[in-house]
Structure 1
Amino acid sequence: MTKPDLKALIRSFNDATQYWVNILNSKEINKVTPSKIEKPLDELLKLIKLIKAHTTKVGIIFKPETLQKQEQTAYNTLESLSESLVFTVSVLSQLNNDKNNSNIYYQEILDQNRLLIESNVDLSTELMHIYEDKTDEGRLVSIGKIWSNCDSIISLLENGALSLLTNKIKLSISLIDDGFDEFSEWAKNPEEVDDTFGFSDEEDDENEDEESLSEEDLNKLIEYSGKWVKKIELVKLLIASFKKSLPKSTTNSQIDDIYDLQKNITILIDKFIVELMLNRCSSKEIDTITNDISKNSITLAKLAESIHNDKKSTWYSTWIIKYD
């Protein structure tokens, strides 16, 4: 190895990692030649563990005082890291072509690997700085980021798609809770105009008297709001049931369907609460939203009913009856 070789390798490492980040950001992973491995997810797990180990060695060998004495070792170590990343991207490309994978699971794998490669771009910049300066000030901040990225991917791969779905569902429930508690209180007395969402302005304040509801309209709104408080509580129970109840036999396509349905329901509930609290009356738009909430929720319950072959299936049948 000649003296400029290590510098050239660092530059090549920077170019390659930046190219892969661009590929992943543009969702053009199909431009990368896919690997042909029998079990790509198992291979990806091995590669990520290998990348973490190589990164640890890079952190040790690229200390300025060590680098000056062991440039050949530094070259070999960085080359090994680079090769592992090449194989990783080719496995990601193979997974992209595998239609049997859960879409949300693959997208999460892709997103987390993009973050990993972005951290390696930062690493390449730091390595060049250390190589050119060779001072005791050299610090590899990105090493810690890469370790964290690797740990997240390892956890994702070891726990699988069902665990990812559970985490997504927990987030959805949290998002529903953010607006639902306030909506439940408001539903008891919607005559109290509370600018929860910051829609009011000075003109609204001046016309506040004109916006007062008649006793008949107020009673209708209280009844309507109360009805939907109960329905949303049932929907929350439905979505929450997926946190623990899904059998391991649940297919990847079913996982994607569950994710899409509960995500749509969460968005629709948020829209419904905002619209009703803002307008304080039903409307064609609100009717459309509530119809979509009901349609998606019943579809989700029926999907769960078909997935289970035990008494849990009866729970979903009962839920549908209660909701209707």
Structure 2
Amino acid sequence: MAGAEARLDAAGVSLWLTDWKVDGGGAWSGRRVMALVGGVHAGHLDVYVHPDGQAVQVAGIEVEPGYQGRGLASVMMDALYAAHPTAWINHGRRGTEGTLWWDRYREPAPQRNVHNRPPAEWARYFDPLTVAAERAHNAYLDRHAGVHGHREAVYRYGEPMAEEARRYAPLFREPEAWGPDPGAEELYGGVRLVLPPGLYRLVPAPRRGAGGRARILLEHLGHGSLPHHSAWNTTRHAAFADLHHEQVLEPGPAGPVLHLTFRLLPLAGAEPPVHEVKATWVKYVHSPGIEVRLAGMSWRSLERPWITHGAAFDSRGGRGDRAGVPAGRHHDQQHRQGPRLR
């Protein structure tokens, strides 16, 4: 065998359910099922998840050209159903390729697909008028492509549904958008670093102590700005996941890579700059500066990512504790050189 088949059989497939940082969604959280073959990105499935976890909106599914025709799309969709075993699923509007794939796909829980059930059951989560339009669009493409499209499972396949949709539309309510408060909560952000080999060898050296190694990293980074495009998360785990996600999609230059995260505390009485609050993270928009207290650092090497090193900083003051972070400034190589605190 050659090409994708050989790579699949030799390396196997792994799936990773992670955050999907996207500007849309409102109170719905972005989530991504990522397929990796030998550690290389082979495809992904993007969805929005309702705050109560009982509804999922499919945003898109994509398989890289070298891995198509191997069932990866079906594997990712099965994983989505398994990850949300009681949630309503809305697959939305399909295109031509999606129509042909859906005809071959065997849905593990068709009774949880909103296209297969009356709006009285799920209208609190999805707009019945929108779903009716999606259903009509998909029925048209099924007929145009000459495929079955599992029509026996679809609720009132091909029939006009505008009147019923209007009757149940008042049940639909968008959840209230909420998220972390940067003026009151600690946040976590991160950056990928490509370090000189000599400095990289110090990262796991326990004899220096975590605090000493953290200070060495800070001296190397210097003073300046953090990347303005970073997502600031409510957990350290999410910050590390962002960095690994970036590493998979954009491996970057060869060399010893370090994933570094910061734990930031708001300064008492300081007004947060302009920002957008998402379901589980914060994004700063063209901010002239963010007053924070650097409370700690954690880091992982790509060679041994299962080991996390970290150090806390003295909250009473001292160099590196209080930092004005101009999130609106950014340089092309910032993700390689790291954040610069002043």
Q: One fold, TM greater than 0.5?
A: no
Higher relative contact order (CA 8 A, sep 6+): 1
TM-score (norm 1): 0.20
- Decide which structure has greater strand share: 2
**Radius of gyration: which is bigger?**
1
TM-score (norm 2): 0.19
- Decide which structure has greater helix share: 1
